[in-house]
Amino acid sequence: MRVAFLGPPGAGKGTQARDLAQEWGALHLATGDMLREAVAAGSTLGREAKSYMDKGALVPDDVIIRMMAERLGAADAGRGFILDGFPRTIAQAEALARLLKDLGQTVDTVVYFDVSEPELLRRLTGRRVCRTCGHSYHVTSNPPKRAGVCDACGGELYQRDDDGEATVRNRLEVYRRQTAPLLDYYRQRNLLVTVSGEGPVVTIRDAIRSAVGAVR
Ligand code: AMP
């Protein structure tokens, strides 16, 4: 299983990728998570990426491509993966195709999560994330049982620095300008399938399973 999840921030890619990667025995490769880990660790990569992330801008292609070349080249990537938040530009999509070709692989399917803009704004500005396991909540529509505490692992919930309203608006604009052109790119290559990213999490998960031919 080698698939990429494509869609605006707040579309639910991470939530679905986390569950389905486990179900499929595939890796969940989320560039945003990898970058946040690098920032927390204070590494060179983290220091380079932080100023872009704080503004809601994209980290430069060469930095992302280098990071993903290393990750996809590692032995465990051979068992399949779900790419979450990568590629985000045409240059990244072309680099991905080249990287996989060198490894004798291709992307099987690109799943586009379709969600309206008002819903994205509502989800992102109310999102709270577990520092320990990465599980996402929403302050009103999916609150944890105890405020500030993860139901799944007891970890601390926090609001991402880039989930404030001004930064969210910028991230959505960046998506429209730089990432949305990938829809046509993958449509032309017959790799794109669209699922509605609105509605119950389990319904969306079923739609993804059938879209990628992993119906159980
Ligand atoms: P995410 O968790 O996917 O919303 O990503 C958070 C932030 O990390 C984005 O707003 C970007 O600054 C950066 N980022 C994540 N993935 C990429 C990517 N593929 N290309 C460039 N920047 C990225």
Domain map (residue ranges) of the chain: 2-115+179-211
Question: Is the shortest distance between the CB of 59 and ligand 1 below 6 Å?
Answer: yes
| Residues of the chain above pLDDT 90, percent | 94
- Tell me the one-letter amino acid at 150: C
Which of 53, 72, 123, 136 is the pocket-test mutation for ligand 1 (most atoms within 8 Å of CB)?
Answer: 53
- For the chain, the first-to-last Cα distance in angstroms comes to 14
Under 8 Å between Cβ of 192 and 174: no
Any catalytic annotation for residue 209? Answer: no
**Domain 2-115+179-211 top-level CATH class:** alpha beta
Provide the pLDDT confidence category of residue 216 given band limits of 50, 70 and 90. low
Any catalytic annotation for residue 123? Answer: no
- Tell me the one-letter amino acid at 85: G
Which of 50, 122, 160, 209 does the annotation list as catalytic? Answer: 160
Question: Is the shortest distance between the CB of 64 and ligand 1 below 6 Å?
Answer: yes
Q: Give the residue-averaged pLDDT of 175-181.
A: 98
Provide the pLDDT confidence category of residue 213 given band limits of 50, 70 and 90. confident
Under 8 Å between Cβ of 24 and 213: no
Provide the pLDDT confidence category of residue 215 given band limits of 50, 70 and 90. low
Which of 2, 13, 18, 123 does the annotation list as catalytic? Answer: 13
Q: Give the residue-averaged pLDDT of 125-141.
A: 93
Question: Is the shortest distance between the CB of 34 and ligand 1 below 6 Å?
Answer: no
Task: Tell me the longest C-alpha to C-alpha distance in the chain.
Answer: 48
